[in-house]
Structure 1
Amino acid sequence: MIFSSLIFMQTIANFANAKVISSVKPIGFITEAIVSGVTDTDIILPDGASPHTYYLKPSDLAKLKSAELVIWVGKDMEAFMPTILKNIDKQKQIELMTVPEIKSLLRTSHDKHEQEDAHSHDEVSQGHHGEYDEHIWLSPKIAKIIAQSIHDRLITLYPDKSTLIDENLDEFITKLTETEQNIAKKLITVQNRGYFVFHDAYGYFEAQFGLKKLGSFTINPAVQPGVQKVYAIQQKLKDHQAVCVFREPQFSPAVIEKIVSGTDVRIGELNPLGTSITLSKGAYSQFLSNLTQQLMDCLDRN
């Protein structure tokens, strides 16, 4: 019994080695780019899980309590974070939704490209979103501010490595700017191709690159879309307004297969969490490039 306890404690200790912790993988991509060569990083949300439905494990608690810095989006995105973070020094956290430069770029429900006539009662009452869209990692513009915020905090934590931290930030900004330009060149060819997404998560990316999203099935991926919403989408598909419907790896509801049946609308897949990407210095640009290719694979077909 004692031996088993020792093994358990050692396992927890191993999980707690990383000094900078990010809540979700895309934020971890940005973090890794700035922290690379300075200290170790890790991510709370495992591949295949959703930030909207995840529950912390003992190993997660150990990571968070031992971290020198925790980077997360906000309470409406990661409902699993606020309770544990109440017991962690605010100086050891960056809650990105409270960063002033980010707050000025946030999208509200009034900013969305489509003002859908009505969400179903279930969707509205059970939606995870607050006033603002918290999928901020899908904005390259906001990603640069996130990187700057991480940089500034790291400088105070590791002043002896300030030169490396500065270099990491410069490299990240340069690479991301180049990636943005490449994405814009690719997506310009499909800007007039209408599509639906299962989960309304891509507003920042769509706004920056001028995409033609016609609507979403749900504002909360854990809640199935209502009958009225499904009917409205079916009508638009019958009117040939859309060429694609996109699902996600975490959520692939049967309703999508059913709704496109009998039409020439294609089903694509978008991965807003970058679950197939390995944590590395260039992972964020790879994440955006992969998302772009996923869009192109479905939209750019004759």
Structure 2
Amino acid sequence: MSCYYISLISAVMLYNHMVFRMSRMRLALSLTVALTGAPAFADAPKVAADIAPVHALVARVMEGVGAPDLIVQPGASPHEYSLRPSEAAALQNADLVFWIGPDLTPWLGDTLETLAANAVVSALLDAPETIKLDLRENALFEAHDHSDHDDHGDKQHADHDHEEHAHDDHAHDDHAHDEHAHDDHDDHAHGDHAHGAHDPHAWLSPRNASNWLNVIAAQLSAADPENASLYFANAAEGRAEIETLIDTVNATLAPVRGGEFIVFHDAYQYFEVDFDFPAAGAISLSDASDPSPARIAEIQGRIADQAVSCVLTEPQFNPGLVATVLDGTEAQTGILDPLGSDLEPGPALYPLLIGNLATALAACM
């Protein structure tokens, strides 16, 4: 037998041996994941997310590969936050960072430029797939025609340009200044943490969350092509879970639909639009400042005029303010938590967060 054929046979045998070893390694890794839950790949990208709901969506897409780091811890306000050393290290080591954007966490922008200069940073509020709503400037929400939101997937509102709004160059127009000057600038508290024209609480739209799963999967796949199929499979499963969640929330709200409620601060517009359940107003437009006496009187008038049955607070706010608003009324009170501060961070947090909002709202009505 010639040396050529001997070499060819040896090469084939070596190749088959390598394939066999690789197959055994993959099988061992799969068994390790199945038995211990440990990630199958040691070189998973290092990922950080700003708030717990975004972290949950990223964690859902990364299941079976790795887990992201959470920057703003549960129970803390995302508008003002001091990084812990471990959180700063997570940003410094990150390959990818997912955040809502500077409209929610203005302090994080410079931090990302400094600590995560080498990371791929994705501001989800700026993603083309994101459905965006304009900031509301009045504590008493007027009825809106949301017919252009019937199909939330069409992003019609996301394509609104600034020519359509009087606050093209300014967050608040002259009329708003004149009409609400008595509120000691309370109407402009959004400016403390929202510098754009859009409401930054976009994660409270499950439609946005569903869209973001694909955005997250695409970014992870670009950084880690080996696991692209798993990322997109996880995103597809997550989207299916959100569709089920939407049906569940609609069923929860159906018995009380049409009821009137007041929220503590204007954070729930996306939830209201997705589920066609508008709030009648907010005690404060922002959680950055307390409402003025004029604002409280205005809200009390709305409660009386529209037979508001529910005033909702949030875990981190002083319940005494809600007691003041409720004084002399028959409205009930409940608690909404837009960040899931009492939930365990991880892939299960997002559906629990949205489901809990619906349950608390229905119970209060």
TM-score with structure 1 length normalisation? 0.86
Distance 2:247 2:329 in 1: 34
Structure whose alpha-carbon radius of gyration is higher: 2
Q: Secondary structure at the match of 2:106?
A: coil
Of the three residues 253, 261, 264, the one matched with 2:327 is 261
| Letter paired with 1:275 | S
Within 5 Å, give how 1:227-242 maps onto structure 2. Answer: 227-239=293-305, 241-242=307-308
Structure 1 residue 27: deviation in Å?
A: 0.7
Cα contact 2:263–2:313 (8 A) shared by 1: yes
Q: Secondary structure at the match of 1:86?
A: helix
Q: 1:18 to 1:260 in 2, by over 3 A?
A: farther
**Identity rate of aligned residues, in percent?**
28
**Hey, what does 1:29 align to over in structure 2?**
56
Cα contact 2:55–2:346 (8 A) shared by 1: no
| Letter paired with 2:285 | I
**Hey, what does 1:92 align to over in structure 2?**
120
Distance 1:204 1:163 in 2: 31
| Letter paired with 1:108 | D
Q: Tell me the C-alpha RMSD between the 2 structures.
A: 2.2
TM-score with structure 2 length normalisation? 0.72
| Letter paired with 1:42 | D
Of the three residues 82, 93, 107, the one matched with 2:133 is 107
**Hey, what does 2:22 align to over in structure 1?**
none
Q: Secondary structure at the match of 1:65?
A: helix
Q: 1:183 to 1:90 in 2, by over 3 A?
A: farther
Per-residue CA distance 1:29-75 (angstroms, 9 max, x = gap):
11111011112212111122111122223322111010111111111
Structure 1 residue 279: deviation in Å?
A: 2.6
Cα contact 1:190–1:211 (8 A) shared by 2: no
Q: 1:125 to 1:284 in 2, by over 3 A?
A: closer
Is the aligned partner of 1:150 residue 2:178? Answer: no
Is the aligned partner of 1:67 residue 2:64? Answer: no
Per-residue CA distance 1:96-132 (angstroms, 9 max, x = gap):
1221221xx2101369992497482332343233311
Per-residue CA distance 1:237-256 (angstroms, 9 max, x = gap):
23352101110012234221
Is the aligned partner of 1:79 residue 2:97? Answer: no
Distance 1:208 1:107 in 2: 11
Aligned residues: 281
Cα contact 1:51–1:79 (8 A) shared by 2: no
Structure 1 residue 171: deviation in Å?
A: 0.7
**Hey, what does 1:189 align to over in structure 2?**
255
Structure 1 unaligned blocks of 5 or more = 1-16
